[in-house]
Amino acid sequence: MADDVRALSAALARDPSGLVYVELAEALRRRGQVEEALRVVAHGLSRHPQHADGHDCLARIHVDRGDLAHAMAAWAHALEIAPEHVGALKGIGFLYFRQGEHRKALTALEHAIAAVPGAWATAWAALAASRL
């Protein structure tokens, strides 16, 4: 994983205006370097404010920091940009579930499934069958 961070950092240095900032921030987040990930994604979003994947990554970083309100806001912003963004829909569903709002969680997850009918529909059907 350290090699991934090095390679992604080098790629971002070669092309600071590129979108690789999301991959780098995500790699840092997975390594537990949440504050550094936040710095990287914030800088990337300053260059690409309409990049839904960047806002999705920002939301996951906020969740890791325990800042669920900012995570919800980042996912909502991602959905303003890309209404069918599966990561944001799943994330919002996750937050609603954690807050005990199961109906809202189910609605968000159903929307995510509808956005990518192939793989998600199969998984959903399997889950539904297992509960019968």
- Other Cβ atoms less than 10 A from the Cβ of 106: the count is 13
> pLDDT by residue (tens digit) across 36-73?
999 999 999 999 999 999 999 999 999 999 999 999 99
Structure tokens at 121: 């529909």
Burial of 16 (C-beta count, 10 Å sphere; 0-12/13-18/19+): exposed
At 125, the pLDDT band (50, 70, 90 cuts) reads low
Residue 117 in this model has a pLDDT that exceeds 90: no
State the pTM of this model. 0.85
